[in-house]
Amino acid sequence: MLVSGAHSVLAPAATLFAGFSMADDLPSDGNQNGADVDAPRLQVIGQYIKDLSFENPTAPASLAVRPQIELNVDLQARQLEREHFEIELRMRISAKAEDKPLFLLELVYAGLFQLHNIPDEIRQQVLLIEAPHILFPFARRIVADVVRDGGMPPLMIEPIDFAALYRAKAASLQQAGSAGLPQA
């Protein structure tokens, strides 16, 4: 069936916006987007692949096998300047079938972030929870694409709870720290 004569269900633009000026809604302080310039914020400056490796040693024989997947995730944060931090999301994915390696994918996906007015007591949580949460969907897409380009179905990694990872790491560090203290 051919559709012709499409009509808009909206009134003409001149009617919709009559008497409306965008300048009417701007705050009087000159701040164009209405955001408080001193409010705490995490800003993404850039995102990039730092390292990517994919090994598919048994192809094409491995293409018809359903593998066991092992995923390891690690985070690294380093301060570059006063407010600029680089966060690295490191992923290592290995696939095996009957104890034979099918593929190995290693990805270091990083982001450069600017922290503005973030209190020191929550800076680490912002860097190790919020920043990787922003990076993860992009790293996930890279993993899916590389695995698919390696001849297998795309590997869709489940969302990662970076807050739980942070709490687990903090608990293990606290436990390791208290284990070295003499008991009273």
Look up the CATH number of the domain holding residue 69: 3.10.420.10
Pairing of strands 84-97, 100-116: antiparallel
> Is 11 within the bounds of a domain?
no
**pTM as predicted:** 0.73
* Cβ neighbours around 87 below 10 Å, total: 23
> Is 100 within the bounds of a domain?
yes
Q: What is the mean pLDDT of residues 158-175?
A: 90
Phi (first) and psi of residue 49, to 5 degrees: -85, 120
Q: Which residue did the predictor score with more confidence, 163 or 34?
A: 163
Domain count, the chain: 1
pLDDT reported for residue 21: 46
Domain carrying residue 117: 38-156
Task: Name the pLDDT band for 11 (thresholds 50, 70, 90).
Answer: very low
> Is 62 within the bounds of a domain?
yes
Give me the percent of the chain exceeding a pLDDT of 70. 76
pLDDT reported for residue 12: 40
Taking only the tens place, the pLDDT of each residue in 35-54 is: 667 788 899 999 999 999 99
Phi (first) and psi of residue 43, to 5 degrees: -115, 130
